[in-house]
Structure 1
């Protein structure tokens, strides 16, 4: 099972200059069951929260996956008809598609492309399609990702907070069924005390709000989801929030401990608790649509970051096993050959000592055995294969087909026979005949360098065959 770390980000401060430094952030560490959401039973729907609380980024626990929930007031959801363009050209065209929906310049904004809204199946589009666009401040996102650069995680997601709220199926009444009108989608509204969780200029962290106390800043953070791909966020004072209730859509209210205790609007007196389980369940449903992830374009992870090591566990284990077996086999085979070499060397040494017990020091048993045999042959008056007469006799047998003037010179030195042949002589046939006579015939490559004068022609070195 893998783990997921959910972190809720504060709203972007409009009155605090850059660089922004984060203080204690609310987080929840969750253990994933590894089962797809469609196959989970009702008992397995609730996530298993291992840890939750507030902590600095450096003190956050490592996890397999990091999910950053961006404040709804920092993400604008809009729609536009998006042409099918490559990513580089699409990034350049997106500011022109949302500039009418923004009150500021679209160039400093990061624009994420969400899922298609035209009802067509998910497939590569051949023409423009109406899509959800998510607009956020690029500098704020860069500051957030730079702050989490040292955190230990393998996958990263950035989700809008309004998309992480649960949606309730609309209730269909009998009158609506008879009239043929579809029931309105009830909204989900969350009111929380506003806290920036940013380190101020004097190095102090804004204090965490205690239950039962009104926010020190007098502001409330409002997150609203009105449809599957619709939602927004607001930062309102107490008076503005009470006035906004008259314009609020019908739906279900949620609030944190401060909002429920102070009840800035009457609807919050019956509100449900906005705890981590609600946010985690909504984020898990949101992650099922990859288009709702704001980590796109320059904020997308690289290939190395997206590489799933767990998916390669079996192939890597198999490759490691094959390499281990190969190394073991090579070492076992080397040991067998080494023992065979030692056995042969011991047998050669024993044979040498048996035949010639006067030899005390043995450096090369086969060479010393060969020299001793040659000495015995010479002592008995018998010639050796590399003597002049045996070599000349065998070469004469091999050179029967040579023309009378084919052999220009014949020398014997260093127990080898050197023959000088007339230019143009068929040496291939002569070498074949010499091989059949038990001789080894090789051309003398150093003949031109070592001989100043002598008959012209090719020189060949003739030795006894192996």
Structure 2
């Protein structure tokens, strides 16, 4: 399943608002990336593709709260009661009115233990989603640009973003709770970020922690980040917005919760589609795809070999029947339908010897006379080879069943047809 990943703009959307987007087929490699208005955004390249909206780091606030025990937190249990609890817990921690904010709880959160809650402006997020839906790009998931939790390096990481005039850094994996913080790109901010981290080892040496800190930067601010961190010998790795979009879309978060949540069916379809896309296109499934392909090829080859053996066996049997016909009746020069020709030759032999077969008139009349109830006499008799029709025979349902049973035991089939009894030998067509 292909995915269109786009960054939501920091301001509320308008007619000229443009979205930075990345189009991917497997979630790991970008097919295309550019900037376009909502109406000109590309569609996912495969049926069932999804649109993922990324919330910028500076548009989110991360709060750590402990929810009361016994409070349901499932995907289908984001009730007004849960939102009221979150508003009460976060009312003193946020600057805006809690009723005007949107909340999203970390995936896999459990009541009674600390959980991360993402907070952003509700009207801003809703208007962006509505603008995209009006343009025919209905958003399936809303993910954060950076989320709390373990980092790829296993330690704290810094990512420098923005423009040279307004540069900032995002600190991930911060502290024992592995939180997210947004700071100005200044030497003092980086120093505060380092001193706020727990020691890397038992010795608590600052040099060990400096070595453990990974720093990445967008190309636009890479030189500024290099100058800012140059005195500390930090190596800066380039990290584009396309790479951040792909990393964010692969995360487990979905900020579309409470009044913005998708239905259970939509979530299930999205999950199945993502799993199928990963199985078909993700690099980590390449070995499994090769194995499945080899298995299919082996089955196809085996089925063809089995079919060839069956054809050979059938051809041998047909050749045996033809040989039996030509050896038993040498006068037959051309074999068209061996069973029919053999039956015809046998009939000629019986006729020449003066014997009768079950398809002749006398055996048919004898079988009918033995099976008919007493006193039932036909008014007319018609005979064709292998078939006898007795007109004027009327039978009750129980008499018809008994007649059929007696004739079947003698090797004949019988049925009533428009006031007539039709009698045939079992082998007759």
Q: TM-score, normalised by structure 2?
A: 0.53
Residues 104 and 352 of structure 1, relative CA distance in 2, 3 Å threshold:
same
Residue 415 of structure 2 contacts residue 422 of structure 2 at CA under 8 Å; is this kept in 1?
Answer: yes
The equivalent of 2:50 in structure 1 is none
Confirm or deny that 1:340 pairs with 2:313.
yes
Q: Partners of 1:167 and 1:345 in 2: how far apart?
A: 72
Residues 10 and 271 of structure 1, relative CA distance in 2, 3 Å threshold:
farther
Confirm or deny that 1:273 pairs with 2:234.
yes
**What's the offset of the Cα at 1:374?**
2.3
Confirm or deny that 1:365 pairs with 2:338.
yes
**What's the offset of the Cα at 1:414?**
1.0
Residues 384 and 352 of structure 1, relative CA distance in 2, 3 Å threshold:
same
Structure 2: give runs of 5+ residues left out of the alignment: 23-27, 36-52, 138-142, 197-205, 216-221
**What's the offset of the Cα at 1:257?**
5.4
Residues 377 and 312 of structure 1, relative CA distance in 2, 3 Å threshold:
same
The equivalent of 1:221 in structure 2 is 168
Residues 346 and 107 of structure 1, relative CA distance in 2, 3 Å threshold:
same
The equivalent of 2:49 in structure 1 is none
Report which of the two has the higher share of helix.
2
Residue 110 of structure 1 contacts residue 137 of structure 1 at CA under 8 Å; is this kept in 2?
Answer: yes
Confirm or deny that 1:463 pairs with 2:425.
yes
Q: Partners of 1:408 and 1:295 in 2: how far apart?
A: 88
Cα deviation per residue 1:136-173 (whole Å; 9 max; x = unaligned)? 45757969xx9xxx9xxxxx8742499969999xxxxx
The equivalent of 2:272 in structure 1 is 304
The equivalent of 1:96 in structure 2 is 87
Residue 11 of structure 1 contacts residue 74 of structure 1 at CA under 8 Å; is this kept in 2?
Answer: no
- Tell me the secondary structure at the aligned position of residue 442 of structure 1: strand
1:134 alignment partner, one of 118, 139, 142 = 118
Q: Partners of 2:147 and 2:360 in 1: how far apart?
A: 98
The equivalent of 2:224 in structure 1 is 258
Residue 116 of structure 2 contacts residue 148 of structure 2 at CA under 8 Å; is this kept in 1?
Answer: no
Cα deviation per residue 1:52-110 (whole Å; 9 max; x = unaligned)? xxxx9359xxxxxxxx9976544323344545344466376277354554444657755
The equivalent of 1:112 in structure 2 is 104
Q: How does 1:402-421 map to 2 (within 5 A)?
A: 404-408=374-378, 411-415=381-385, 416-419=387-390
Count of residues in correspondence between the two structures: 337
1:441 alignment partner, one of 394, 413, 419 = 413
**What's the offset of the Cα at 1:330?**
4.3
Residues 221 and 91 of structure 1, relative CA distance in 2, 3 Å threshold:
farther
Residues 377 and 351 of structure 1, relative CA distance in 2, 3 Å threshold:
same
Q: Partners of 1:189 and 1:342 in 2: how far apart?
A: 73
Q: How does 1:161-176 map to 2 (within 5 A)?
A: none
Residue 170 of structure 2 contacts residue 181 of structure 2 at CA under 8 Å; is this kept in 1?
Answer: yes
2:361 alignment partner, one of 388, 401, 426 = 388
Tell me which moved more, 413-422 or 312-321.
Answer: 312-321
Confirm or deny that 1:75 pairs with 2:60.
yes
Residues 110 and 410 of structure 1, relative CA distance in 2, 3 Å threshold:
same
Indicate the structure (1 or 2) with the bigger Cα radius of gyration. 1
The equivalent of 2:182 in structure 1 is 233
The equivalent of 1:375 in structure 2 is 348
Residue 442 of structure 1 contacts residue 460 of structure 1 at CA under 8 Å; is this kept in 2?
Answer: yes
**What's the offset of the Cα at 1:329?**
4.8
Structure 1: give runs of 5+ residues left out of the alignment: 1-6, 25-30, 32-55, 60-67, 116-121, 151-155, 169-187, 196-214, 452-458
Q: Partners of 1:133 and 1:339 in 2: how far apart?
A: 70
